[in-house]
Amino acid sequence: MADLTRAPERAARTRDLDSLATLISSCHACPRLVAWREKVAHEKRAAFRDQEYWGRPVPGFGPEDASILIVGLAPAAHGANRTGRMFTGDRSGDVLFAAMHAVGLANQAHAESIDDGLRLIDARVTSPVHCAPPDNKPTPAERRTCAPFLTRELELMSSTLEVAVVLGGFGWQALFGVLGQAGWNVPRPRPRFTHGAIVDLAHPDGRTLTILGCFHVSQQNTFTGRLTPAMLEEVLALARRLAGSTGEP
């Protein structure tokens, strides 16, 4: 049986996003995060005590040939770590998927469970860390350990990917680290994260990629009005225009 603590080392050999998702879901590379995700899944929040938590790493989802990639932070303890799908089952996801639906990047505005019928249109949603971390804070070492999965996801999308929307400064840092390792010409000093930031990157092989910055859809940001639905929709609509997306309006 394969050593599940070494799953990230095998990411580069996966042939498609489905096999990458299977590999991610089995990963046990970060002892602190494995212990935390399983503890949360065992203890549960009272409101979900009748549900079986996923309690494992959460892979990205969306069509393999998407031109837009939305990059978050990490699964939420009682959201994606419960439902098994990114941003599904918590307030952050309510805000994100409502906005994606409003601009034609999702077929419906709500996301409660992995079988709720949600379908993303020309967009995938992923994160640089695939396990729920305590206090929503993965360590730099955990971020580095998980990076091969995002690297491979970018590679497998390379023939269609045009735009990456990064939700928050953590995802911004993580994505630029991966892009630099993947050979993209990343400016130095590295571009700073701001809401509304636009960075165009070129790859020596001729590909181009536009990175858009957006405040994270955390409750801290959405409850305080730092990020409003209109602000999020504006960034997502721009991503769609830049990608020449033919998603359903």
Per the listing, tokens 């590909």 go with 207
Closest approach of Cβ 90 to ligand SF4, in Å? Answer: 18
Q: Does 27 bind ligand SF4 (CB under 6 A)?
A: yes
* Token pair of 125 as six digits: 């949603």
* CA distance to 23, 47, 49, 140, 145, per residue, from 27 (Å): 7, 28, 25, 18, 11
Residue 20 sits in the site that holds ligand SF4 (CB under 6 A):
no
Three-class SS of residue 189?
coil
Give the number of residues in contact with ligand SF4, rule: CB under 6 A: 15
Please tell me whether residue 30 binds ligand SF4 under the rule CB under 6 A: yes
**106 touching ligand SF4, by CB under 6 A:** no
Pairing of strands 68-71, 123-126: parallel
| Least Cβ distance, residue 191 to ligand SF4 (angstroms) | 25
Instruction: Name the one range near ligand SF4 by CB under 6 A: 15-23, 128-136, 196-204, 215-223.
Output: 128-136
Q: For residue 148, what are the CA distances in angstroms to 90, 182, 232?
A: 27, 10, 28
CA distance 228 to 210: 23
- Min separation Cβ 222 and ligand SF4, Å: 25
Residue 130 as a binder of ligand SF4 (CB under 6 A): the answer is yes
Residues in the site for ligand SF4, rule: CB under 6 A?
A: 8, 24, 27-30, 33-34, 57, 129-131, 142, 145-146
